[in-house]
């Protein structure tokens, strides 16, 4: 398990459709799914369990729910998607993206990355 100093260096969740704007624009999405990425973190290795979720209006939606692979290491990034149907007609609502990794193949405790909150806009 990494110490608190290592955890400070974990990446933040990235939502490219919201980059450089005041929120996640439904018009910018143009009815496409929401792509979500997380960069590599210190001590990242195959077999670690990664869980990225989107929380909104009391509902949770899995974005990534799987083991890290060799390909993820090579790409230095893991991506997932959130269905457009989850965000459509939700203007003004906030999506909270959470990310946790387990360093013991899903057994025991998870280490939490920083949450990312994004407002859905028109």
pLDDT digits (tens, 9 = 90+) for 37-95: 999 998 899 999 999 999 998 899 999 999 999 999 999 999 999 999 999 999 999 99
Q: Is 43 left (phi over 0), alpha (psi -120 to 50) or beta?
A: left
Residue 66's CB: how many other CB atoms inside 10 A?
Answer: 14
What is the pLDDT, as a whole number, of residue 25?
A: 95
What is the pLDDT, as a whole number, of residue 81?
A: 98
What is the pLDDT, as a whole number, of residue 9?
A: 81
What is the pLDDT, as a whole number, of residue 42?
A: 86
Question: How does pLDDT run across 1-36, given as a tens digit for each residue?
Answer: 666 666 778 999 999 999 988 899 999 999 999 999
3-state secondary structure of 86: helix
Rounded CA-CA distance 122/111 in Å is 34
Question: How does pLDDT run across 94-117, given as a tens digit for each residue?
Answer: 999 999 999 987 788 999 999 999
> pTM to 2 decimals?
0.91
CATH of span 4-121: 2.60.40.10
CA angle 66, 67, 69 (to 5 degrees): 125
């Amino acid at each position: 398990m990494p110490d608190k100093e290592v955890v400070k260096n974990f990446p933040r969740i990235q939502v490219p459709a919201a980059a450089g704007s005041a929120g996640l624009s439904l018009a910018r999405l143009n009815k496409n799914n929401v792509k979500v990425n997380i960069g590599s973190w210190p001590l990242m290795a195959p077999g670690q369990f990664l869980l990225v979720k989107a929380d909104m209006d009391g509902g949770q939606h899995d974005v990534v729910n799987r083991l890290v692979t060799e390909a993820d290491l090579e790409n230095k990034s893991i991506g997932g998607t959130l269905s457009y149907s989850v965000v459509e007609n939700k203007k003004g609502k906030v999506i909270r993206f959470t990310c946790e990794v387990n360093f013991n193949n899903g057994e025991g405790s998870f280490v939490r990355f920083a949450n990312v909150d994004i407002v859905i806009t028109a």
